[in-house]
């Protein structure tokens, strides 16, 4: 019988001796963890009778209420509604959005870093050597360098589908639709009059035949909606026709969303931003230049920055291009913030991503620095915006102008011959202010740094093997190590079996993979545990270590999100065994079927040593 989460939370609250007695409340995958000021005020006798509590355990000053996966999060949320005084640590909407974009971009950072560095080098060679500029070498290397940015929406679509749990091949089709060669390239739209752009008239939609090269947010939104639709269709369409009805409907709806609704909304935003830019920086307005230097990185995030070519073309027709120094200040500020992260960070993975990205940004290609590092860590991004605004103000005050466009950052010296000294001061001020601010404000968080790893690439197993696993109702070993009987757990709650049947594994490696096909139903804020719902309602809990919830995510890196579909063998969680041991905790990993009481049998098939993905538990 399902418990009443609201009633359970209210009864727990009533047993705690008033809100003044509650110091803090957190939860892990199975337990509500409470810290109270005075234990004597807690009505333990009544609490033990609360419907929904399977057991109570007191450890390290905490009262641990065993509620179980699937319910503990809901009871926790209801408790917070009742007692707003409770101390919690929850991410803001902005932090969640930045983390989401980071999760999407991290896997494709190597591709855009390589392309960015190549484009920067080619710009130098073409400027200093007219012979190279017209050579076959230049043409073929330009093709190599431009490809990642020309087809960026496709890369983003594939990565976003992995994050949102959609079909990556259907997402790839949406990305291809948005940059289809039959559409007018987004970089050329600004040079055309609106009447010159052909349109399709489909029912109430007037669809302009333009591409979305360089756009980020539109493709992420479309793939998110497409993934939602795909999941709903899989649930509702009969299996006999699901194979072709779901992909067909998903692609058609996704295509219309991309070209007919979401894409045009951002196109309209582009035009408004262009007019605003021209207004703010007219006549060398210093305040307006500072505003645009500050918000320029935001327009890069949204993908509307390519429309600034219209502004520069108009300026050059009248004289000097005063927009380029503003862009350079913003780009160099991104490079400085990224470099500060790379130099200050102790994590090798962070350095490996940040330093090449900083070089790319200094050459004018900021996407690797923005999406791979600064935006994900938030504070460096904000510091770079401030630095860019200060640099843009200096550029306007010194009346810096360029004689062309197409390059920025360090390469901007090549088109600012008459203002080289002033231009040098501009980028120096932007760099220094951004670097110093980031160095002072940003401090390395191990959880954030681990999340910059480029290892977040999902493994896909053979469909035949996946189908066999679903039929067998088998749980495979999620990690290599030595198996420990459930009864021998050091944690008495696990050992008692109240949370379900299963085993423990003393791990030999720090990587957890999915032990079965299913959906991630819960993830703890401390990242040490997650729940998976498998075939026919089987619920599995994987928890790394005992009391590792107290590490608050330090040393843990999660590769999946709540609600995501996963396949057996897919990477779920990475943990640092040394950090756990140094903190004084055990690394023994629990693998439990939390609803084992609903089945006739739950049999442990393996003892002793196990390799990853060996058959561990069978359920009947």
For the chain, state the CA radius of gyration. Answer: 28
Q: What is the mean pLDDT of residues 368-389?
A: 89
Question: Does the residue 351 lie in any domain?
Answer: yes
Chain-wide mean pLDDT for the chain? 82
pLDDT at 76: 83
pLDDT at 231: 84
Going by pLDDT thresholds of 50, 70 and 90, the confidence category of residue 343 is: very high
The DSSP H or E segment spanning 24 is strand 22-27
Going by pLDDT thresholds of 50, 70 and 90, the confidence category of residue 140 is: very high
Domain ends where: 456, 475, 498? Answer: 456
pLDDT at 470: 42
Give the rounded percent of residues in the chain with a pLDDT score beyond 70.
88
pLDDT at 464: 40
Look at residue 32 and tell me whether its pLDDT is greater than 60: yes
Q: How many residues does the chain have?
A: 620
> What's the rounded Cα separation, in Å, for the pair 540 and 520?
10
What's the half-sphere exposure (Cβ side, CA atoms, 13 Å) at 339? Answer: 17
pLDDT at 307: 67
Name every residue whose Cβ is closer than 8 Å to that of residue 28 and which is 6 or more positions away in sequence.
72, 524, 526, 528, 529, 543, 549
Q: What is the mean pLDDT of residues 37-48?
A: 83
Say yes or no: 441 and 330 in one domain.
Answer: yes
Say yes or no: 467 and 421 in one domain.
Answer: no
200: tokens are 């399709």
Q: What is the mean pLDDT of residues 380-409?
A: 90
Going by pLDDT thresholds of 50, 70 and 90, the confidence category of residue 534 is: confident
Q: Which residue has the tokens 């076959």?
A: 136
- C-alpha angle 542-80-451 in degrees, rounded to nearest 5: 45
Q: The CATH number of the domain where 469 resides is what?
A: 2.70.70.10
Look at residue 451 and tell me whether its pLDDT is greater than 60: no
Could you list the residue range(s) of the whole structural domain that residue 318 is in?
A: 281-456
pLDDT per position as a tens digit, 221-275 = 999 999 889 888 888 888 778 888 889 999 999 999 999 998 888 777 777 777 8
pLDDT at 78: 85
pLDDT at 85: 53
pLDDT per position as a tens digit, 166-203 = 888 999 999 999 989 899 887 777 677 777 888 898 88
DSSP 8-state symbol, 303: T
Give the rounded percent of residues in the chain with a pLDDT score beyond 90.
21
Say yes or no: 485 and 386 in one domain.
Answer: no
DSSP 8-state symbol, 211: -
pLDDT per position as a tens digit, 103-119 = 777 677 777 777 777 87
Number of domains within the chain = 3
- Which one is predicted more confidently, 561 or 504? 504
pLDDT at 454: 40
Q: What share of the chain is helix, strand, coil (3-state, %, to 5)?
A: 55, 15, 30
User: Other C-beta atoms within 10 Å of 314: how many?
Assistant: 13
pLDDT per position as a tens digit, 289-328 = 999 999 999 888 776 676 676 677 678 767 788 889 999 9
395: tokens are 């550029």
If you write DSSP's letter for every residue of 501-512 in order, what string do you get? EEEEEEESSSEE
- C-alpha angle 499-14-40 in degrees, rounded to nearest 5: 85
Q: What is the mean pLDDT of residues 34-48?
A: 83
186-193 own/partner pairs: CB under 8 Å, 24+ apart: 186/210, 186/211, 186/212, 186/213, 186/214, 186/215, 186/306, 187/213, 187/214, 187/306, 187/309, 189/267, 189/307, 190/274, 190/306, 190/307, 190/309, 190/310, 190/313, 191/309, 191/310, 191/313
Going by pLDDT thresholds of 50, 70 and 90, the confidence category of residue 522 is: confident
Helix orientation angle between 323-344 and 348-362, rounded to the nearest 10 degrees: 160
Going by pLDDT thresholds of 50, 70 and 90, the confidence category of residue 467 is: very low
pLDDT per position as a tens digit, 480-491 = 999 998 888 877
| CB distance 512 to 499 below 8 Å | no
Comparing CA positions, the residue from 302, 292, 317, 330 lying closest to residue 186 is 302
Going by pLDDT thresholds of 50, 70 and 90, the confidence category of residue 434 is: very high
Between the CA of residue 11 and those of 8, 28, 147, 159, what are the distances in Å? 5, 20, 60, 44
pLDDT at 430: 96
Going by pLDDT thresholds of 50, 70 and 90, the confidence category of residue 446 is: low
pLDDT at 304: 67
Say yes or no: 502 and 412 in one domain.
Answer: no
Between the CA of residue 523 and those of 536, 541, 542, 572, what are the distances in Å? 21, 10, 10, 11
pLDDT at 269: 76
Going by pLDDT thresholds of 50, 70 and 90, the confidence category of residue 462 is: very low
Domain ends where: 456, 475, 491? Answer: 456
pLDDT at 91: 55
Name every residue whose Cβ is closer than 8 Å to that of residue 471 and which is 6 or more positions away in sequence.
none
Alpha helices in 281-346 (DSSP H): 286-302, 308-318, 323-344
pLDDT at 596: 80
The catalytic site residues sit at 28
User: Other C-beta atoms within 10 Å of 242: how many?
Assistant: 14
Domain ends where: 45, 72, 90? Answer: 90
Q: What is the mean pLDDT of residues 419-427?
A: 93
Question: Does the residue 504 lie in any domain?
Answer: yes
Q: The CATH number of the domain where 68 resides is what?
A: 3.30.1360.60
Alpha helices in 152-260 (DSSP H): 152-164, 168-178, 186-189, 217-236, 239-256
pLDDT at 27: 73
Question: Does the residue 558 lie in any domain?
Answer: yes
Say yes or no: 364 and 383 in one domain.
Answer: yes
Say yes or no: 417 and 501 in one domain.
Answer: no
Q: String of b and e for 181-204 (b: at least 16 CB within 10 Å)?
A: eebbebeebbeeeeeeeeeeeeee
Say yes or no: 446 and 535 in one domain.
Answer: no
Coil, strand or helix: which one is 445? coil
Say yes or no: 440 and 302 in one domain.
Answer: yes
pTM (predicted TM-score): 0.54
pLDDT at 34: 82
Question: Does the residue 274 lie in any domain?
Answer: no
Comparing CA positions, the residue from 170, 158, 153 lying closest to residue 233 is 170
| CB distance 514 to 570 below 8 Å | yes
Say yes or no: 491 and 578 in one domain.
Answer: yes
Question: Does the residue 265 lie in any domain?
Answer: no
Question: Does the residue 225 lie in any domain?
Answer: no
pLDDT at 98: 66
pLDDT at 289: 92
Say yes or no: 445 and 491 in one domain.
Answer: no
> What's the rounded Cα separation, in Å, for the pair 198 and 195?
8
Question: Does the residue 199 lie in any domain?
Answer: no
Question: Does the residue 239 lie in any domain?
Answer: no
566: tokens are 């996963």
Query: What are the E-state strand segments in 48-162?
Result: 55-59, 62-66
- Which one is predicted more confidently, 307 or 73? 73
Say yes or no: 350 and 425 in one domain.
Answer: yes
Say yes or no: 433 and 494 in one domain.
Answer: no
> What's the rounded Cα separation, in Å, for the pair 85 and 34?
13
pLDDT at 1: 53
């Amino acid at each position: 019988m399902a418990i009443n989460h609201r009633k359970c939370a209210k009864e727990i609250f009533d047993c705690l001796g008033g809100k003044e007695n509650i110091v803090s409340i957190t939860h892990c995958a199975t337990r509500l963890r409470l810290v109270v000021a005075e234990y004597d005020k807690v009505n333990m006798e009544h609490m033990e009778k609360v419907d929904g509590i399977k057991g109570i355990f007191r450890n390290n000053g905490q009262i641990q209420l065993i509620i179980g996966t699937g319910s503990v999060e809901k009871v926790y949320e209801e408790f917070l509604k009742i007692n707003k005084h409770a101390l919690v640590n929850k991410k803001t909407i902005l932090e969640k959005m930045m983390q989401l974009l980071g999760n999407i971009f991290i896997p494709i950072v190597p591709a855009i870093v390589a392309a960015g560095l190549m484009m920067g080098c080619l710009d130098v060679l073409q400027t200093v050597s007219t012979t190279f500029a017209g050579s076959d070498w230049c043409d073929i290397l330009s093709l190599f360098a431009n490809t990642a940015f020309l087809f960026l929406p496709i890369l983003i679509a594939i990565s976003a589908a992995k994050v949102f749990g959609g079909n990556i091949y259907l997402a790839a089709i949406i990305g291809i639709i948005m940059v289809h060669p039959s559409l007018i390239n987004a970089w050329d739209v600004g040079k055309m009059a609106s009447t010159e752009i052909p349109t399709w008239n489909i029912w109430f939609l007037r669809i302009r035949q333009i591409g979305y090269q360089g756009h980020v947010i539109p493709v992420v939104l479309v793939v998110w909606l497409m993934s939602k639709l795909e999941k709903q269709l899989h649930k509702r369409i009969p299996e006999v026709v699901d194979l072709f009805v779901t992909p067909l409907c998903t692609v058609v709806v996704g295509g219309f969303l991309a070209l007919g609704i979401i894409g045009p909304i951002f196109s309209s935003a582009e035009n408004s931003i262009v007019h605003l830019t021209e207004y703010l920086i007219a006549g060398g307005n210093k305040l307006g230049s500072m505003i645009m230097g500050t918000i320029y990185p935001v327009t890069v995030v949204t993908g509307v920055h390519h429309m600034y070519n219209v502004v520069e073309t108009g300026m050059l027709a009248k004289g000097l291009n005063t927009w380029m120094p503003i862009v350079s200040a913003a780009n160099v500020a991104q490079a400085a913030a990224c470099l500060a992260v790379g130099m200050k960070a102790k994590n090798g993975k962070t350095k490996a991503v940040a330093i090449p990205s900083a070089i790319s940004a200094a050459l004018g290609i900021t996407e690797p620095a923005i999406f791979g590092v600064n935006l994900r860590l938030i504070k460096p991004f904000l510091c770079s915006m401030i630095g860019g605004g200060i640099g843009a103000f200096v550029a306007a005050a010194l009346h810096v102008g360029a004689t062309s466009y197409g390059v920025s950052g360090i390469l901007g010296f090549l088109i600012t011959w008459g203002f080289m000294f002033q231009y040098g001061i501009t980028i120096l001020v932007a760099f220094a202010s951004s670097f110093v601010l980031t160095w002072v404000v940003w401090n390395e968080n191990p959880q954030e740094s681990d999340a910059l790893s480029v290892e977040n690439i999902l493994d896909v197993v053979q469909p035949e093997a996946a189908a066999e696993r679903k039929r067998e109702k088998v749980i495979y070993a999620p990690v290599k190590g030595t198996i420990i009987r459930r009864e021998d757990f050091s944690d008495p709650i696990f050992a008692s079996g109240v949370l379900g049947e299963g085993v423990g594994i003393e791990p030999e490696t720090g990587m957890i993979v999915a032990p079965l096909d299913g959906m991630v139903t819960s993830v703890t804020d401390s990242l040490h545990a997650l729940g998976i719902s498998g075939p026919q309602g089987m619920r599995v809990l994987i928890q790394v270590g005992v009391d590792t919830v107290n590490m608050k995510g330090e040393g843990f890196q999660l590769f999946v999100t709540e609600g995501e579909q996963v396949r057996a063998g897919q990477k779920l969680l990475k943990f640092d065994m040394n950090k756990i041991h140094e903190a004084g905790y055990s690394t023994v990993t629990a693998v439990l079927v939390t609803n084992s009481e609903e089945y006739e049998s739950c049999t442990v098939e393996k003892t002793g040593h196990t390799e990853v993905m060996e058959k561990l538990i069978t359920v009947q």
